[in-house]
Amino acid sequence: MNPRKIKSALISVFNKEGLAPIIKLLDKNDIKIFSTGGTQKFIEEMGIEVTPVENVTDYPSILGGRVKTLHPKIFGGILFRRELVDDEKQVIEFEIPNLDLVIVDLYPFEATVASGASDEDIIEKIDIGGISLIRAAAKNFKDVVIISSKNEYDLLEIILRDKQACTTINERKMLAVHAFDNTSHYDTAIFNYFAGEETKRFKKSIKNFQVLRYGENPHQQGVFYGDFDEMFDKLNGKELSYNNLVDVDAAIALIDEFEETTFAILKHTNACGVASANSPKIAYLNALACDPVSAFGGVIITNREIDADTAEELNKLFFEVLIAPSFNSEASQILCGKKNRILLKRKPTLVPNKLYKTLLNGVIEQDKDNKTETLEDLKVVTLLSPSEAEKKALLFANKIVKHTKSNTIVFANENRLIASGVGQTSRVDALRQAIEKANSFGFTVAGSAMASDAFFPFPDCVELAAAAGVKAILQPGGSIKDQDSIDACNKLGVAMVTTGIRHFKH
């Protein structure tokens, strides 16, 4: 196992939290400690003997602390290959101390950027000596232990307390992997800061991860990279699956379109129910009525607190996930009665404005679709203008269109989804599907507003919609045959508006 006993340690950390117990164990094991700057002072104040790095290098800390440990006697002590005779001769010749353990962290660059600090302050938090020491120790893991984060202090305590300060090659290699993980993440953050939003390099680093039960299907492995706990408090239920996470992401994107009290129910990322009302209970019941069949086993989200009355209604339905900004105590008690039901309390966290997807042998990136149309975006292109109520219905439908798989057609009134056709290979098929679905649940699309994710290349969609009683249509426009659909609307007494904005979703 190639064991190595720690006999000496170099310590230089920005964050002293959790360091004191380590120092005490090093002293208890008679391990010689080298340090500098604030860390040296911290150790001295504990009453423990420490050798200043300056005594080894014969150089003080210079340039305002920018150069402290960058010296051959320090790096030689780390990179010295113990099994090589020539290395050992040079170490003796130049009086280089063996350094068996390196405890170094990095300046908080990301936290400094996030704080809104000045460029000058941010640049001063680009670590030079620390990251070099970490890389050197990790490179020579056959002989040296590298602790590059306080997250490894627990393991180091076990080594010092229970293993007589001896490490195995596997332990040292594992810590080297952690070290290179930390340095690569750090360098990525620095690159992205300097390059800004316009960079044409794909460099992303996410340290948090969660191994999932499986991927999209049980025979596929799955991992979520991200800090789920930053966005949600999980109040109840089993671990989220890959498909749960995909639906939760879609649910968040959809509900953020609405300011009024709204409930949405999703299945396979598509909305099967959306409604706004004066109370959460009514909004939920109206959303459920859109398609109670598809709602079974779905993901439900709202932008208001869940109260007891709403919870009683929700409790009648089997669903996978419920997301809300808060749950009152009675609601929590009602809904937590089923152990596998996932309840998520959403935190006010921003989500990225860039979207990524693996494709072929690479990754594609695009801006998030942040365009939400308003009344000012509606251009009336027909002789008949939609009423104010119809305009509101068109905008409501269009919010749902934006988050529905293409090709899609959505029917809605001012505050409620009536039916949608989703993910069809032709728009006219999506239209037929939506009409059929509305009819199957006892709704009619007559008098409703209709929205399409893209333009109409032919007038067939207008003709079918008019025959079903639709009175107002929204579409982006942009077809060379737009006039054919406009003429059909004028002939059939249907109002049409265009927005100039397409909302494909694949």
Its sign, for the CA torsion 181, 187, 193, 197, is negative
* CA gap 366, 380 in Å, rounded: 30
E runs forming strands in 347-447:
354-359, 362-367, 379-380, 409-412, 417-421
Residue 274 and residue 426: Cα distance in Å, rounded?
24
Amino acid letter for position 456: F
Three-state SS for 353?
Answer: coil
Catalytic residue of the set 139, 150, 185, 338 = 139
Q: Which of 7, 163, 268, 338 does the annotation list as catalytic?
A: 268
Going 264 to 267 to 270 to 273, the CA torsion angle's sign is negative
CA–CA gap between residue 454 and residue 233 (Å, rounded): 38
> What is the rounded distance in angstroms from the CA atom of residue 465 to the CA atom of residue 460?
9
CA distances from 144 to 6, 174, 360 (A): 8, 12, 41
Backbone φ, ψ for residue 167 (5° rounding): -125, 155
Q: Catalytic: 268?
A: yes
Dist CA 484 CA 449 (whole Å): 20
User: Distance (Å, rounded) from C-alpha 479 to C-alpha 52?
Assistant: 75
Per the annotation, the verdict on 178 as an active-site residue is: no
Give the active site residues: 139, 268
